[in-house]
Chain A
Amino acid sequence: DADVTQTPRNRITKTGKRIMLECSQTKGHDRMYWYRQDPGLGLRLIYYSFDVKDINKGEISDGYSVSRQAQAKFSLSLESAIPNQTALYFCATSDPFVPGQGFYGYTFGSGTRLTVV
């Protein structure tokens, strides 16, 4: 099984619909993130969570919400989907930063391709 699992892998939805993307991890990491990827723009941070009780907005959180149901689960919701939310969505986890040892990096899921029509 993958360390970070995202469901669904592909989804087509209509404008105005509510949709939830789910992410679960077996890494045992406290830190989880949601990014969206658009061609030429790299990955942009939507929300992140450093533990179950901690939720933080990223650079593009408008139109999105998240829920951290457990250490291993972090879901992303689009309350009322719009076409410019069509993108590839990635969930990631990481170890905490340890000063002097560098940053261990993210483990990404395989992504959810979302199309809003």
Chain B
Amino acid sequence: TQLLEQSPQFLSIQEGENLTVYCNSSSVFSSLQWYRQEPGEGPVLLVTVVTGGEVKKLKRLTFQFGDARKDSSLHITAAQTGDTGLYLCAGDKAAGNKLTFGGGTRVLVKP
């Protein structure tokens, strides 16, 4: 069992639709991050959330950190084909700069 569980594992939608990816844990995290990874490349940081209940927006992407700092969600509005990729959440339990990653959600946005 992974410390961070992501759901769904795979999501296929049409361009223009909305989608939400979830990242859940029974543990409390001091901070939580979301990364996007494209084939042949390493993950790239999208956002860091540190405060329970925090909501951050990055253009069409909205990130939320749960009030208890145990879970997070990523919502994409009006998805575009360029949003296709593997989305990874990662948490730092002890503010020690050592991240634990979820299993990832593979998103495919079809034209």
Partners in one complex: yes
Contacts of B92 in A (CB 8 A): 97, 103
Establish whether residues B95 and A97, one from each chain, have CB atoms under 8 Å apart when the complex forms.
yes
B61 at the A interface (CB under 8 A): no
Contact among B41, B98, B102 for A42, CB-based, below 8 A: B102
A33 and B102 CA atoms in complex are apart in Å by 17
Q: Could you say which of A63-71, A73-81, A106-114 contacts chain B? A: A106-114
Beyond A102-B48, A105-B45, whether A44 also contacts B101 by CB under 8 A is yes
Contacts of A97 in B (CB 8 A): 92, 95-97
A37 and B42 CA atoms in complex are apart in Å by 10
B107 at the A interface (CB under 8 A): no
Establish whether residues A109 and B48, one from each chain, have CB atoms under 8 Å apart when the complex forms.
no
- Proximity string of chain B (29-70) to chain A, C-beta cutoff 8 Å, 1 when within and 0 when not: 011010000001111110011100000000000000000000
A34 at the B interface (CB under 8 A): no
Q: How many residues of chain A are within 8 Å of chain B by beta carbon?
A: 29
- Chain A: interface secondary structure? strand
A102 and B30 CA atoms in complex are apart in Å by 8
Please give the distance in Å from B86's CB to the nearest CB on chain A: 9
A21 and B33 CA atoms in complex are apart in Å by 27
- Proximity string of chain A (43-54) to chain B, C-beta cutoff 8 Å, 1 when within and 0 when not: 111001010000
Contacts of A108 in B (CB 8 A): 42-44
A44 and B88 CA atoms in complex are apart in Å by 12
Establish whether residues B88 and A110, one from each chain, have CB atoms under 8 Å apart when the complex forms.
no
Name which of A31, A102, A107, A111 has the most chain B CB atoms within 10 A of its CB. A102
Interface residues of B (CB under 8 A from A): 2, 4, 6, 9, 30-31, 33, 40-45, 48-50, 88, 90, 92, 95-104
Interface residues of A (CB under 8 A from B): 4, 31, 33, 35, 40-45, 48, 50, 58, 90, 92, 94, 96-97, 99, 102-111
- The list of the 8 closest CB pairs from A to B, nearest first, reads A108-B42, A42-B101, A105-B45, A102-B50, A43-B101, A103-B31, A42-B103, A97-B97
